[in-house]
Amino acid sequence: MDYRVIKENDLFLLTDKQGDIPVGHPYGLGLYTKDTRFLSKLNLYINGEKPILLSSDADENYMAKILLTNPHMENHDGLILWRESVEIERSRFISDDVLYETIKVKNYFPKQVSFEITLEMDADFKDMFIIRGFQKGKVGSRTGQEINGNSLTFGYVGSDNITRKTVVSWDKTAKAAEADGRVTFSFTLGHEEEDSVTFFIQPHIGNASYRKPVPVNTALGQLQDSYDRWARETTTVKTDYSPLQTLVQRGIDDLRVLLTDVGFGPFPVAGLPWFGVPFGRDSIIAALQMLAFNPQIAKGTILTMANYQGKKLDPWRDEQPGKIMHEIRYGELASTGQIPFTPYYGTIDATPLFLILVKEYVNWTGDYEILEDIESNIESALKWIDSFGDRDGDLFVEYHQESSKGIANQGWKDSGDSIVHRNGHYAKSPIALSEVQGYVYQAKAGIADLYDHLGKTEKAEKLRADTQKLKDKFNDSFWMEDREFYAIALDAEKKQVGTITSNPGHLLYSGILNEERANAVSNMLLSPKMFSGYGIRTMGEGEAGYNPMSYHDGSIWPHDNSLILLGLSKTGRQDKANQVIGGLIKASGFFEYNRLPELFCGYGDSLGKAVKYPVACSPQAWAAGTPLVFIQTILGLFPDCATREMRISPLLLPEMNELSVYNIRIGEGILSLEAVRTNDGVKATIIENTTGYAIIQN
């Protein structure tokens, strides 16, 4: 990572490795909330010069520490400050929508020294879409700066007539505070003496009243307490295979920092730095990945998506009644209607995925009460699938962009070149994606089970009849006999888009495949064409559109692999699943902090290393959730609310001898178990089971 990022709830700070925000940086560094940059400059100086970076730690996403020192300083009158005399530590975190930054200075020179520390700041209040270069539009204007005692306020009135302010305050008397954003402090320190100043930086939107920030130690304690609660509420994993242990803990920590609550419970935003907002597909898949670790996140995700469910026909936003949103934005361009993201609904898969998440959440928790709260949302989603989703009544759900500023390809591979025929021609919409038909099948089958429990037998029977029709027609229309694999899609003319891709791998999880074709799909996915040694590629090597450096046409996406893993494990193909897990773990060792990125290049492992993709979110929710899926997959753990049973079929990786998992929340209680390698195979021992679910061990 060439940047440093910290986040808490809806506020995040993106800086360079020194902790600064230089003007004009290509990454669009700054302090952001509600898709607006509230700090566009943040530069630290000692005696007017930039300090020298010693260390910059981004291991924790909620707190950053950066260590610097002074350069050598002298003039014609003699020595000003000997090199490396002063240690400068910048520590920062976010709590209760306030950025806290403490600058601590310590003198290591043998004698007393005097020096000045200056923090230079500015706020441009730019919309994130403008910063990223995606849009231009009508914007507001700055209203100037105001100094009031130990505080400095930057002001702005947007084209939406909303006032935005950045209030900066500090806890030490400044030598000078200037309206141009420069605040200077004088320090005189003896040998090994230290002193500090803390800044409090607080965005304000609209008429929200100013709240005095709590003291830094109080705020940090509150933040750490929230992380302690997260740890207590989340499943714990212990294994003797340290790379897996590291990956799982990194995933848990990353997912915690990506949690946001917009009023309906915590849920994961898509990723940092540019996608720290609610996303339909991304948030839902991340919540699915987290079910074995913290199912309450799924509840927050379900309720959030239900609240924003489409209610009317609005082509500008690709909105239709019952449709689950793609993405919501809160900035100036969105609030003035210059972009359609308020929210935007251009996603074909979020609606069936929403229904899958509902079923799986109930599977894990037995929380049938939630169905009373979202019954109308479920019915609206099902109605959308059969009407607006299936545009021409052929049983398949297709997408077509209506909005002039929307997204053309509306599956998870949403880049413009991702749906390509064998001859290299791009498919034309309306397009029916293979995995989406699997999602619809799985969604309807799952909701049918829930309807049975609610006594809605007639509705359940209709849904099961629908699934059988869809299964038959899908297997007739998408199967490519010459390639023994499924087409990625059907185009506008109902012709197969025959390129070999990872998309049909998601079908394993859905239940829409028979055993013979499930074997064919899994064999293709693990063939050298698709499996690089580090993971399953998005597109097969040798295909017309294949490019290992591309975003969707040959790269490797951990989340894509995770959905395939769930299917491999669910269908009893644990050996193949472990092969994929082993490759991804091997790949993680080539990335900073052993973190799986959003995606990486699809080169084979014969290259000797996994190659990073030039621009990838880090941390990213469904990449962070992938190691959590590793654990569920290795255990072969799948609960079923209808039968109140849970299946386990553990198969350890070759590098592992033991795996212990504690406090998995299922039903009314918890499950803790361990799997240990023995001479006779893998022995599973139940440490505790208060779930109310019977255990079926295969």
159-188: pLDDT as tens digits: 999 999 999 999 999 999 999 999 999 999
Instruction: Answer yes or no: do 244 and 195 share one domain.
Output: no
Whether pLDDT at 374 is above 70: yes
Query: Strands 645-648 and 638-640, how do they pair?
Result: antiparallel
CB 196 within 8 A of CB 104: yes
Greater confidence, 324 or 78? Answer: 324
695: which residues sit within 8 A by CB, 6+ positions away? 645, 646, 648, 686, 689
Q: Give a yes or no: residue 677 inside a domain.
A: no
- Name the pLDDT band for 1 (thresholds 50, 70, 90): low
Q: What's the average model confidence in pLDDT over 110-135?
A: 93
Task: Let me know the angle formed at the C-alpha of 435 by 430 and 441, rounded to the nearest 5 degrees.
Answer: 100
CA 204/CA 573 separation, integer angstroms: 53
Q: Which residues contact 196 (CB under 8 A, 6 or more apart)?
A: 102, 103, 104, 105, 172
Q: How confident is the model at residue 3 (pLDDT cuts 50, 70, 90)?
A: confident
Q: What is the mean pLDDT of residues 208-223?
A: 90
**What CATH number did the domain enclosing 150 receive?**
2.70.98.40
* One domain, residues 246 and 200: no
pTM for the full predicted model: 0.95
Calculate mean pLDDT across residues 516-536. 98
Indicate whether 199 and 164 sit together in one domain: yes
Where helices occur in 275-401 by DSSP H, the ranges are 280-289, 296-307, 332-335, 350-365, 369-384
Give the CA distances from residue 419 to residues 55, 187, 344, 395, 553, in Å, rounded to whole numbers and listed in that order.
44, 61, 22, 20, 9
Q: What is the mean pLDDT of residues 627-646?
A: 96
328 and 201 within one domain: no
- Residue 416: pLDDT band (50, 70, 90) is very high
- Domain final position from 627, 656, 682: 627
What one-letter code names the amino acid at 213? P
Q: How far apart are CA 309 and CA 325, in angstroms?
A: 6
User: How crowded is residue 261: how many other Cβ atoms within 10 Å of its Cβ?
Assistant: 12
Mean pLDDT of 302-329: 97
Q: Is the pLDDT score of 274 beyond 90?
A: no
Q: For residue 616, name the pLDDT band (cuts at 50, 70, 90).
A: confident
Binned at pLDDT 50, 70 and 90, residue 60 comes out as: confident
Whether residue 261 sits in one domain with residue 186? no
Q: Is residue 571 part of a domain?
A: yes
333-351 pLDDT, tens digit per residue, is 999 999 999 999 999 999 9
pLDDT at 320: 98
Q: Is 361 helix (H, G, I), strand (E, B) or coil?
A: helix
For residue 643, the number of C-alpha atoms closer than 13 Å in the C-beta half-sphere is 9
On whether residue 65 sits in a domain, the answer given is yes
Domain closes at, from 627, 650, 670? 627
Residue 58 has pLDDT above 90, yes or no: no
Q: What is the pLDDT of residue 619?
A: 85
The per-residue pLDDT for range 37-54, each reduced to its tens digit, is 999 999 999 999 999 999
638 with 364: CB under 8 angstroms? no
In-domain check, residue 682: no
Assess whether 177 and 246 both reside in one domain. no
Structure token pair of residue 213: 């920030």
Tell me what pLDDT residue 170 has: 97
Q: Read off the pLDDT of residues 358-370 as tens digits, 9 standing for 90 and up.
A: 999 999 999 999 9
Contact between 314 and 406 under an 8 Å Cβ cutoff? The reply is: no
pLDDT band of residue 617 (cuts 50, 70, 90) is confident
Same domain, 472 and 565: yes
pLDDT at 407 over 90: yes
Residue 345's domain is classified under what CATH number? 1.50.10.10
DSSP designation for 503 = G
CA angle 666, 671, 675 (to 5 degrees): 130
298, 360 contact by CB (below 8 A)? yes
**Whole-angstrom distance between the N-terminal and C-terminal Cα of the chain?**
43
pLDDT value for 136:
79
Report the range of poorest mean pLDDT among 133-137, 289-293, 386-390. 133-137
Same domain membership, residue 244 and residue 202: no
Q: What is the total count of domains within the chain? A: 2
Q: How far is CA 687 from CA 67, 182, 638, 675, 691, in A?
A: 45, 60, 18, 10, 12
The whole-number average pLDDT for the span 273-296 is 95
Mean pLDDT of 657-665: 98
pLDDT at position 375 over 80: yes
- The two structure tokens encoding residue 493: 């003319």
Report the pLDDT averaged over residues 513-531. Answer: 98
Q: Which of 200, 224, 248 is the last residue of a domain?
A: 224
CA distance 17 to 40: 16
Would you say residue 208 has pLDDT above 80? Answer: no
State which residues form the domain around 508: 239-627
657: in domain = no
pLDDT digits (tens, 9 = 90+) for 9-23: 999 999 999 999 999
The answer as to whether 695 is a domain residue is no
Other beta carbons less than 10 A from residue 420's beta carbon: 23
User: Do 363 and 424 belong to one domain?
Assistant: yes
| Alpha-helical runs (H) found in 416-479 | 434-453, 457-478
Q: What is the mean pLDDT of residues 195-214?
A: 92
Could you tell me if 250 and 113 lie in one domain?
A: no
Domain membership of residue 686 (yes or no) is no
Instruction: Give the pLDDT score at 57.
Output: 78
Q: What does the mean pLDDT of the chain come to?
A: 95
Q: Where are the alpha helices (DSSP H) in 169-241?
A: 216-233
The sign one gets for the Cα dihedral 421, 426, 429, 433 is: positive
* Amino acid found at 29: L
Do both 250 and 214 map to the same domain?
Answer: no
Work out the average pLDDT over 112-123.
Answer: 98
Please enumerate in sequence order all residues whose Cβ is within 8 A of that of 580, keeping only pairs 6 or more positions apart, or say none.
526, 531, 535, 536, 561, 564, 565, 568
Same domain, 352 and 450: yes
| 665 within a domain of the structure (yes/no) | no
